[in-house]
Chain A
Amino acid sequence: MNPAPSVKTLMIDGKDVSARADQSILDAARENAIPIPTLCHLDGLSEAGACRLCLVELKGTLRLQPACVTLVEEGMEVTTQSPRLEKYRRMVVELLFSERNHVCSVCVSNNMCELQDMAKQLGVTHVRFPYRYPRLPVDTTHERFTMDHNRCILCTRCVRVCTEIEGAHTWGVFGRGVDAHLITDLDIPWGTSDTCTSCGKCVQVCPTGALFEKSKVGMQSQKNPDFLNYLNEMREIER
């Protein structure tokens, strides 16, 4: 048993809070009911630091820091909401919408989509950037699930859950820049993957309609990543 980590006190949005030294700013803020928007973060998975929505201002540093991977420090003064941060967050969502083909009205995850919710929450009413309209495939080769690259935001939650929780390492990222996309195994159709255990964890953690279960429509396709905390807790006890 490791000795309990020390406790730090800091200030988030003018509110004094305490946190364990091994906690991130995001953890500390959420414990204290201070919301910070996130898309790539998911409780129970490692952090990617990729969506940049959780960037916060720290007193004394010019550069914005991601709340998900920045550990609390004694005397830290964190600002989670400011006109500058809100503007950047809206732009992140705009860039995501313009990048691929996110057409909510014909998406299985319509009204159950974290990207959609985020846009609403941040007040993104329209996208100012030109849409890129890339031609992207839909992989329907798997017996139970579908991968629609048009809806993918490359949060890599599926990659991480497959590696860290299921241990199958089926999902990976291929290519660079705007051409980066998810692949199964060494870029073979999902249905022919030898490593995929068809556990469906990737589907449950996917924030958008990129990964979905076949023949589930409407409320049936609601995703539920709560199993993560349960599994992690059980494994902790076993250890």
Chain B
Amino acid sequence: MTFEELEQIAAETRENREKSPRELNVCVAAGCLSLHSDAVKKSLEEEVKRTGATCRVRGTGCMGLCSLGPLVASEPSGQFYKSVAAADAAEIVENLEGAPVPRLLCSREQPFFQRQNLIVLENSGRIDPEKIEEYIAVDGYRALVHALTEMNPNEIVQEVSKSGLRGRGGAGYPTGLKWGTVAKTAGTTKYVICNADEGDPGAFMDRSVLESDPHRVLEGMAIAAYAVGATHGYIYVRAEYPLAVKRFGTAIREARRLGFLGSQICNTKFNFDMEVRIGGGAFVCGEETALIASIEGRRGSPRPRPPYPAQAGLWDMPTLINNVETFANIPSIVRRGGDWYASIGTKKSKGTKVFALTGKVRNVGLIEVPMGTTLRQIIYEIGGGVPEGHKFKAVQTGGPSGGCIPEQFLDLSVDYESLRELGSIMGSGGMIVMDDSACMVNVARYFMEFCMSESCGKCIPCRSGTAQMFELLTRMTLGTATARDLELLEELCDMVSSTSLCGLGQSAPNPVLSTLRYFRDEYIEHINEKRCRAGVCECGSAVGVTA
């Protein structure tokens, strides 16, 4: 594959589209699909056929505003329809030209769309994820061809370093540094792994990227493989994401067909191929050493680091392991340069971050904003604020490893360092907004239950410590806890985070610690007054019951 051939495919695809410019794009990613967007697509197709209208009906990826799905975009008129039902098909097709259907209209001029800055999601909802030609038509695979034919591996590592990109899985390790380490480590065989075992409650960024623009991740992985000297790649996707597995499988087949995977890619000596590995439903397999063990066919439990996977990873070989979103940033960085990427964001956190905005906000969906955007902008401008009748209480970031941030910090900019200072973490990008109907003790208990049941059981602090913390939190929500239980809980938080083997245990106390930091009075009320101000816990009714 050369630039000329790539350009030819792109030109042909664009030409075909221009022949019949009218198209109806229906979101067929998991969010809208769960609202039966497949039925919408089918009835639109039938309607087009019946009326003989010159219009193509395409299934595309996520358009972002998941709470108003199924979403349909009519091009080139730019009409954008929300909550479309199969029965609306006739009306939509009838009004392809001219006047839109006001009943279904949803403005794209609202802050939800205007405030975003799309890099990872630039093609999401705009191309058919199952057609490689459509990806090529929007400059897809240009970065790979450019990297292979015009750059040497070190130049790519330098470009990624310059971009300031940091691991989007949550910990924020500098991506360029990791790539450089794997590139420099001696080894006959090296591997590239994409971690798509997204498991935080409320998080669906990686799923949407894989469902909406799988080639982007594949291209990023191929560039990474060239940069570090790897010949084989794996993408580890959880089994609960069947659509992502299917679409990525299609992407691999299509990429092989056009020679972006296989041997002598782009007539160079670079060989690279990859396969999908499906996870068995354990959250801990998102931890890199457990993930590697799982790919090797062993029980998915973590091992102590060092050695880090960069030195001894999959089958003891140097292994580069990055998150879906990290890889998805790579094609843009290679195409537009590290300096361009570094111009977005804050001093220490560059680029954009995709968030899955959920909970008590008007606009639930997938968003991408520059690092440094404030929580208030995300929740109130993009998210549209908390629905009427309730008051904002806290926003949870980082899932079971993160924490709850109260109202007084809403003007803080979102980046790795400032979230950590507040006792939370960036995490993979789950953002759950809570209003005054949420009890913070109960929230902490919920996340502790999650950590307890997802602990692999290998090290004692995480296995037994999370179970004890869950028991103590349960007593509080039942109104049977004493002041001593709170002391024990705090002692356990310190011990479990300091002594656990892997990140799961080390961060498991975070939801408790952050709620204790900002909502300690709620804990005290549960213990001393047997009262839950949100009315969630039935601690009052349990007065007199002893533990």
Contact = CB atoms under 8 A, between A and B. Distances in A.
Given A154-B457, A180-B457, A52 B299 contact: no
B458 A132 contact: no
A177 B453 contact: yes
Interface in A147-184: 153-154, 172-173, 175-180
A185 to B, nearest CB: 15
Interface stretch (A14-22, A92-100, A193-201): A92-100
A52 B462 CA distance: 10
B501 A177 contact: no
Nearest to B492: A91
The dominant DSSP class at the A interface is loop
A64 interface: yes
Contacts of A179: 457
Nearest to A95: B464
A177 B456 contact: yes
A132 B463 CA distance: 13
Contacts of A202: none
Contacts of B458: 48, 50, 154, 180
A117 to B, nearest CB: 17
Contacts of B491: 91
A96 to B, nearest CB: 6
Interface stretch (B351-359, B372-380, B466-474): B466-474
A178 B463 contact: yes
B456 A176 contact: yes
Contacts of A92: 460-461, 499
A64 B499 contact: yes
Nearest to A181: B457
B459 interface: yes
A180 B460 contact: no
A177 B488 contact: no
B467 A176 contact: no
Nearest to A49: B304
Nearest to B452: A177
A51 B488 CA distance: 21
Contacts of A96: 460, 464
Interface residues of B, number: 32
A66 interface: yes
B316 interface: no
A69, A88, A176, A179 interface centre (most CB from chain B within 10 Å): A176
A90 B499 CA distance: 12
Question: Which of B454, B458, B464, B495 is the most central at the interface, judged by chain A CB atoms within 10 Å of its CB?
Answer: B464
A92 B464 CA distance: 9
A26 interface: no
Contacts of A52: 459-461, 499-501
Contacts of A88: 495, 498-499
Contacts of A132: 467, 471
A50 B456 CA distance: 11
Contacts of A153: 460
A130 interface: yes
A130 B200 CA distance: 29
Interface residues of A, number: 33
A227 interface: no
A42 interface: no
Given A49-B501, A175-B457, A129 B468 contact: yes
A109 B261 CA distance: 59
Interface string B475-501: 000000000000010011001001111
A128 interface: yes
A99 B467 contact: yes
Contact of B468 (A48, A51, A130, A154): A130
A50 B488 contact: no
Given A98-B464, A130-B547, A173 B499 contact: no
Given A98-B464, A98-B468, A178-B464, A50 B547 contact: no
Contact of A173 (B284, B457, B460): B457
A99 B491 CA distance: 17
A229 B195 CA distance: 40
Given A173-B299, A177-B453, A51 B464 contact: no
Nearest to A87: B495
Contacts of A128: 488
B400 interface: no
Contact of B464 (A55, A99, A172): A99
B214 interface: no
Contacts of A91: 461, 491-492, 495
A22 to B, nearest CB: 13
B457 A176 contact: yes
A49 B500 CA distance: 10
B269 to A, nearest CB: 33
B303 interface: yes
B463 A51 contact: no
B212 interface: no
Contacts of B455: 176-178
Contact of B460 (A51, A87, A172): A51
Given A49-B501, A92-B499, A180-B463, A130 B457 contact: no
Interface of B: 282, 284, 299, 301, 303-304, 452-461, 463-468, 471, 488, 491-492, 495, 498-501, 547
Interface of A: 47-52, 55, 63-64, 66, 69, 87-88, 91-92, 95-96, 98-99, 128-130, 132, 153-154, 172-173, 175-180
17 contacts: A48-B458, A50-B458, A50-B460, A51-B459, A51-B460, A52-B500, A55-B499, A96-B460, A130-B468, A130-B547, A132-B467, A154-B463, A173-B301, A176-B454, A177-B453, A178-B452, A178-B464
- Pairs A-B, 9 closest by C-beta atoms: A180-B457, A95-B464, A177-B455, A49-B304, A99-B464, A52-B499, A178-B467, A69-B304, A50-B459
